[in-house]
Structure 1
Amino acid sequence: MTEAEMGAQPSSTPTTDRGPLGAARRAVLATTRAAAALAALVVAAMVLTITYDALARYLFAAPTDWAYPLNTSGVLAATVLAIPHLYATGGHIALDLVHRGLSPRARRRADVVTGAATALFGLAVAVTAARSAAVGIERGLTAAGTFSIPLWVPDLVLAVSGALLVAAALLFPAHPPPDEAPEPAGAGHDDEGAAR
């Protein structure tokens, strides 16, 4: 995927999208993009901390007590922070064998069901994680071990990501599969139907 494709707006948000709905889409897309960028930074930090821990363990026989719990939370954070942006831009992996076999009308209905299920899932994650974060803050809960991460931190990441997923599911309808996407401007076919 090229940098231009990665930074491009999703097909469901044309540049001419105006009004409150367009503004909401742009705001959610900017927020999900920032969350995905944060996920990339988390992955980079995980690489550094794992490398440091491996060097400390094998060169100096002094493993850290913080690398494992931090990276366990990092995997969770990197995954859930990226999901809303992938959904909004259609960047997730789509297993659409059955979907492609449906009629256009049935596909639209399936897309509505998928969007509703995604929004419901995001809502369940957001509400559950927010409640769990509140309990963690109230009771001062921390992870087990010598390096105790406050449990409300990963819960808060889950709550924010769930809320972003709800917004993405409601504002960005399902995307067509790549072979059904409209051709870019200027692309044409020769006499035998192959793309130029």
Structure 2
Amino acid sequence: MESLIKGLLGVIGAIERVAIGIAMVMMFAIMVIVASDVFMRYVFNSPFAWAYDLISLYLMAGVFFLAVSQAYGAGAHVSVDILQQTFPPRAKRLSECVTCIVGLVAFALVARFSFDRALDAYQSQDVIAGSIPWPTWPSIALVPLGTGLLCLRLAVTLLGQLASLATGRDIIPAVANSHDTGEVFE
């Protein structure tokens, strides 16, 4: 079971690295487009009419949703763990199980409904009104892609926490915190 969980986490981590790479390219594209747009606006008085739509519709959505799973895996999401610090290891694992279950249900719903919305937008050929009629479905499709990957991570993390509880071994860390291990809040 341990090797299966670690293998699944490795596969998810590889997918997340690809997603983060794409998100990084999108972030770089945002910087280049904004800098070029400012240059064109103030030097030639001719800004890009398409820049705002491209950035807000596609690139920002990609930066956020393609990074959400990796951020959870790295413990970079906001967490209120002041009570968890006082828990014994078994209670920490149980609280992580509850967190994974609640997150899995919530993000599975987001993934499902956003997938339906993306499919509907694709089938009805939805576009935004603007200088370029950008199709909306690719932007909407980033939501189920990112949240679906997060659901996979949450499901495997839940399995790892449950296996750790059952065996008494640290198959995966009890709690993934982004703060220093010696940091204590009182």
Relative to the length of structure 1, the TM-score reads 0.75
| Equivalent residue runs for 1:48-67 within 5 Å | 48-67=32-51
* Structure 1 position 103, deviation (Å): 4.1
SS of the equivalent of 2:98 reads helix
Aligned residue in 2 for 1:24: 8
Task: Please report the RMSD computed on the Cα atoms of aligned residues, expressed in angstroms.
Answer: 2.1
Aligned residue in 2 for 1:123: 108
Q: What count of residue pairs does the alignment treat as equivalent?
A: 164
**8 A contact 2:16–2:67 mirrored in 1:** yes
What amino acid is the match of 1:38? I
CA distance in 2, matches of 1:51, 1:176: 37
Between the two proteins, what is the percent identity of the paired residues? 22
Aligned residue in 1 for 2:166: none
CA distance in 2, matches of 1:33, 1:171: 17
Residue deviations 1:29-53, cap 9 Å, x none? 1001111111111100000001111
Residue deviations 1:104-140, cap 9 Å, x none? 4432222111111221222122111110111111110
CA distance in 2, matches of 1:101, 1:21: 27
SS of the equivalent of 1:146 reads coil
Aligned residue in 1 for 2:151: 166
Could you list the runs of 5+ residues in structure 1 that have no partner in the other structure? Answer: 1-16, 182-196
**8 A contact 2:114–2:144 mirrored in 1:** yes
**8 A contact 2:92–2:175 mirrored in 1:** no
CA distance in 2, matches of 1:21, 1:108: 16
CA distance in 2, matches of 1:100, 1:84: 24
Q: 1:44 aligns with which of 28, 31, 36?
A: 28
**8 A contact 2:69–2:146 mirrored in 1:** yes
CA distance in 2, matches of 1:51, 1:34: 26
The higher-RCO structure (CA 8 Å, 6+ apart) is 2
What amino acid is the match of 1:148? P
* Structure 1 position 176, deviation (Å): 4.2
Relative to the length of structure 2, the TM-score reads 0.79
Aligned residue in 1 for 2:168: none
Could you list the runs of 5+ residues in structure 2 that have no partner in the other structure? Answer: 162-173
| Equivalent residue runs for 1:177-192 within 5 Å | 177=177, 178-179=180-181
**8 A contact 1:124–1:162 mirrored in 2:** no
Aligned residue in 1 for 2:81: 96
